[in-house]
Structure 1
Amino acid sequence: MLRALGAFIVPLIVACAMFMENVDGTVIVTSLPVLARDLGHDPITLKLAVTAYVIGLGVFIPICGWVADRFGSRNVFRTAIGIFMAGSLLCAASTSLDTFVLARFVQGIGGALMVPVGRIIIFRSVPKSEFIRAMNYLTVPALLGPVVGPPLGGFITTYLHWRLIFVINVPIGLFGIWLTNKYIANTREPHPGRLDWLGFVLSASGASLFMLGLSLVGGELVSTRESAGMCVIGMALLLAYVLYARRVALPVLDLRLLRIPSFHASVIGGSLFRIGLGAVPFLLPLALQEGLGMTAFRAGAITCASAFGSIFMKTMASRILERFGFRTVLMVNAACAGLAIAVYGLFFPGTPHWVIWCIVLAGGFFPSLQFTSLNTLAYADIPSSEVGRATSVASVIQQMSLGLGVTISGIVLQISHRLQGHPKIVFSDFWPAFLVVGLFSCLSIPITRRLPRDAGDEIARGSRGRA
């Protein structure tokens, strides 16, 4: 009886923590325009807050497995929830952009440890006979977060106050810590080995400086020379890591795995695709509010339509992959997704809201199919002994590409706004940004085109058999 209860309650605890993180990530983008004005900045500058969170995630994901083995999965998981709560309270109390960006980075650290360690806990706590059902619990936050987050954030921002968005994480987090203490065992590996500290410092500092410098380009916080200098130093550190990782047996991020064609197509081609899609949660709510004059609540109610499209597509993904194959789906679907993003730039004041909602709904189909295909293909040819290291490489590159999407779209929007000479942001400033990030999705096509025509066919047939 207790074993059956554990197989249910442990995945549920992890799923609730993931739900808190997913909702928080989708809530904030709906509130950015109002939040920016309260902090005394233009909404585009608040891309820093989104990027800071992604940097926190990307920097600390590679070491989460080692930390869990060294200090115990329960200790790390509840500490991660506590860090995420602390970051949330700092966000709620922020009175300047600097403190808000720092708070978002703290949240990112908590999120980086919370989700991967949660998966480790499930793997070690749940019997293999219950593993598929346990993993199904983890799909719920990924599906419901984008549905609940935008309208919830819009409602709180429009009718209450944006600071309450972050306060609601506290009771959820405290309850999660209590449940963790009660139901989750403190498992660990007796000899986790030596962590590649030098590799971690080089990759973490390089990625952080490059992403932060790029986010500050064209802004009002630092000069162009300073932001460019941060980018150059960051790129130099990343290059140093690449050279270093070639000579180390077990680097923190093993880039040699990218030599596997299917993994290379999934991670590199998928990252170009994610640059385009990573921009949409930031750019679309901003366009609806600043460009079309909607309230945060109305914008959130429209933005969540893409999540419904995503859920619908997941029911069809296995059949589509079996019928057409990974290579064809990844190429054709990337073009469709890029076109869908570009169409968002055609919205203008007076466009019926139901038309916008339907277009955003359709725009959710293609990313869902692409992500399902990419995430499945990534492990098609990875040996089981290398799955952990492959996951670290894929996760870091994916998170950084999502942050790049936000940064690049913000830079293009700033350039468009200045070239058109409008005193404030208007709807016509947005179409170049949507067009550029849509093109990034299409840039993944030449990479996936190199795949063999039968790449992943065995997986596609297997997924159909389990459907």
Structure 2
Amino acid sequence: MPSSLPLDARTARLLPWIVAIAFFMQTLDGTILNTALPSMARDLAEDPLRMQSVVISYMLTVALLIPASGWIADRFGTRRVFFGAILLFSLGSLLCALSHSLPQLVGARVVQGLGGALMLPVGRLMVLRAYPRTELVRIMGFVTIPGLLGPLIGPTLGGWLVEYTSWHWIFLINLPVGALGCVAALSVMPDLRGPERSRFDTPGFLLFGAAMVLITIALEGLGELHLPHLRVLLLLFAGLACLAAYWLRAGRLEQPLFAPRLFHTRTFAVGILGNLFARLGSGALPFLVPLLLQVALGYSPATAGMSMIPLAISAMVAKGLARRLIERFGYRAVLTGNTLALGVGLCSLALIDPQHPYWLLLLQLAVLGGINSLQFTAMNTVTLIDLDDRSASSGNSLLSVVAQLSLSLGVACAAALLGGFTASIGQEVDSVLGAFQATFLCVGLLTMLAAAIFLQLTGEDGRSARKVEAVGEE
């Protein structure tokens, strides 16, 4: 069905629900897992402080496939691709539940990531092509609401399932929802395709993907993989060489995967680089806190999960304040000040010890949740706000990739720091809790450095278009 034809009443009514459910599945899966990591580690005979590959493998797979999602949807049709995405995600969930070792679990998470990488972008693409622009804000607002509920429900549900059943159920609960989604996709989804069949930049995709994988494995080599430093350096330089080769090649192509000309727009360049570095702390936060509460402080999985509720609630509240703050103070002031506040908030978690009042911990997490939400909204909006129509699609795709990549790098950096400090117990730190405290301090300081990137904005950047709808979190 061509995208120019109107939808029938039934499809127009049901399509946003299907995309919203897929969005909910993805965000729930992204937050339900962190609380279960210690229990999974015990069952798989692994160190709970070295389980980050379970998180990173999914995020990295999603980041790798996002650039190809639009081309795949145009080539095979949105209905088949969306159905295949839900099927892969559900199959990956089943394989995760059946895993008996860490390598099996990581492989299953990659399968999950193959589905997750296509679900949300293709769902958004369908909404973009199927509804008139006058309806877009309302429809997208409806679609993203379940995505906000995922972080609210995920940690608590994950902790409860681990404590009263087993960690396998955090994956098995995806199966009935996935089955319903598959049926709905086949019976309701329109088969929309782009007006033109564009040529996909396969060499560019391979170079860019290789760079992401090699750099991530290099960081993982400092943590879970225990690679020699010489091998880590080789992987890091190989990744940077692939990235350099990609940009040199893209500069002479008419339709590269991501055009270097995007960075001629200063707000885009600042926004992308700011996203890359400021999200390192944001990615580390939901990974480190459940581990801190369970491994270092002895909280039960259910209590650790419920402790994350204030973070999610304040994130939802802060979303409503973002536009007013940006309109009042401008992107430069909001992003610079908020990045510093995010770093200070992460550093404050280094003060947590067994005598730390529980109410103060909840308050710290609530404040961090609000700061994080404001950070995402402001960063995403300033990145895209000055792009023209020709560059918007490519810029949005690169933003989605950088968002996923930086979150996975944040987990990898935090895990490498935590592993290094844990190995130096008795020298640099005196306990596992001390390793967590030092890690939060380092992650917070690194996040604060990203404020220097946002200082490169001017007070006028984004002012002419500041009343646009804020871009949702990735």
The AA in structure 1 aligned to 2:283 is G
Q: Partner of 1:449 in structure 2? A: 455
The one of 331, 334, 338 equivalent to 1:333 is 338
The one of 112, 120, 126 equivalent to 2:131 is 126
Once the two structures are TM-superposed, the CA of residue 17 in structure 1 deviates from its matched residue by: 0.5
- Take 1:127 and 1:249, find their aligned partners in 2: how far apart are those partners? 30
Question: 1:378 aligns to what SS in structure 2?
Answer: helix
Q: Partner of 1:290 in structure 2? A: 295
- Take 2:44 and 2:460, find their aligned partners in 1: how far apart are those partners? 53
- Unmatched tracts of structure 2, length 5 or more: 1-5
Once the two structures are TM-superposed, the CA of residue 81 in structure 1 deviates from its matched residue by: 0.6
Once the two structures are TM-superposed, the CA of residue 231 in structure 1 deviates from its matched residue by: 3.0
- Take 1:424 and 1:83, find their aligned partners in 2: how far apart are those partners? 45
- Take 2:328 and 2:137, find their aligned partners in 1: how far apart are those partners? 25
- Take 2:139 and 2:8, find their aligned partners in 1: how far apart are those partners? 13
- Unmatched tracts of structure 1, length 5 or more: none
Confirm or deny: 8 A CA contact 1:214 1:228 kept in the other structure. no
2:435 is the alignment partner of 1:421: no
Confirm or deny: 8 A CA contact 1:70 1:192 kept in the other structure. yes
Once the two structures are TM-superposed, the CA of residue 418 in structure 1 deviates from its matched residue by: 1.6
- Take 2:54 and 2:231, find their aligned partners in 1: how far apart are those partners? 19
Larger displacement relative to structure 2 (80-89 or 414-423): 414-423
**For the aligned residues, what is the CA RMSD?**
2.0
Q: Partner of 2:91 in structure 1? A: 86
The AA in structure 2 aligned to 1:268 is L
Larger displacement relative to structure 2 (68-77 or 337-346): 337-346
Confirm or deny: 8 A CA contact 1:53 1:108 kept in the other structure. yes
Q: Partner of 2:442 in structure 1? A: 436
The AA in structure 2 aligned to 1:35 is M
Confirm or deny: 8 A CA contact 1:51 1:403 kept in the other structure. yes
Once the two structures are TM-superposed, the CA of residue 269 in structure 1 deviates from its matched residue by: 1.2
2:209 is the alignment partner of 1:204: yes
> Aligned ranges for residues 355-374 of structure 1 at < 5 Å?
355-374=360-379
Q: Deviations over 1:350-394 (max 9, x none)?
A: 323222112111111111111111111112210012111111211
- Take 1:424 and 1:31, find their aligned partners in 2: how far apart are those partners? 26
Question: 1:451 aligns to what SS in structure 2?
Answer: coil
Q: Partner of 1:31 in structure 2? A: 36
- When the two structures are aligned, how many residues end up with a matched partner? 464
Larger displacement relative to structure 2 (210-219 or 336-345): 210-219
Question: 1:345 aligns to what SS in structure 2?
Answer: helix
The AA in structure 2 aligned to 1:270 is N
Question: 1:187 aligns to what SS in structure 2?
Answer: coil
Q: Partner of 1:147 in structure 2? A: 152
- Take 1:81 and 1:292, find their aligned partners in 2: how far apart are those partners? 38
- Take 2:313 and 2:381, find their aligned partners in 1: how far apart are those partners? 21
Question: 2:465 aligns to what SS in structure 1?
Answer: helix
Q: Partner of 2:401 in structure 1? A: 396
Once the two structures are TM-superposed, the CA of residue 154 in structure 1 deviates from its matched residue by: 0.4
- Take 1:99 and 1:309, find their aligned partners in 2: how far apart are those partners? 36
Confirm or deny: 8 A CA contact 2:7 2:130 kept in the other structure. no
Confirm or deny: 8 A CA contact 1:151 1:301 kept in the other structure. yes
Q: Partner of 1:317 in structure 2? A: 322
The AA in structure 2 aligned to 1:49 is V
Q: Partner of 2:272 in structure 1? A: 267
Confirm or deny: 8 A CA contact 2:81 2:118 kept in the other structure. yes
- Take 1:391 and 1:67, find their aligned partners in 2: how far apart are those partners? 17
- Take 2:431 and 2:153, find their aligned partners in 1: how far apart are those partners? 28
2:387 is the alignment partner of 1:382: yes
Identity %: 38
Q: Deviations over 1:42-73 (max 9, x none)?
A: 12221111111111011100010001000001
Once the two structures are TM-superposed, the CA of residue 104 in structure 1 deviates from its matched residue by: 1.1
Once the two structures are TM-superposed, the CA of residue 232 in structure 1 deviates from its matched residue by: 3.2
2:246 is the alignment partner of 1:238: no
Q: Partner of 1:49 in structure 2? A: 54
Q: Measured at CA, do residues 462 and 232 of structure 1 come closer, stay the same or move farther in structure 2, by a change above 3 Å?
A: closer
- Take 2:469 and 2:117, find their aligned partners in 1: how far apart are those partners? 29
Confirm or deny: 8 A CA contact 2:258 2:394 kept in the other structure. yes
Once the two structures are TM-superposed, the CA of residue 219 in structure 1 deviates from its matched residue by: 3.1
- Take 1:91 and 1:249, find their aligned partners in 2: how far apart are those partners? 41
Confirm or deny: 8 A CA contact 2:425 2:431 kept in the other structure. no
Question: 2:392 aligns to what SS in structure 1?
Answer: helix
TM-score by length of 2: 0.94
The AA in structure 1 aligned to 2:411 is V
- Take 1:72 and 1:368, find their aligned partners in 2: how far apart are those partners? 34
Q: Partner of 2:222 in structure 1? A: 217
> Aligned ranges for residues 90-109 of structure 1 at < 5 Å?
90-109=95-114
Confirm or deny: 8 A CA contact 1:254 1:393 kept in the other structure. no
Q: Deviations over 1:196-229 (max 9, x none)?
A: 1111111112211221232132435655554444
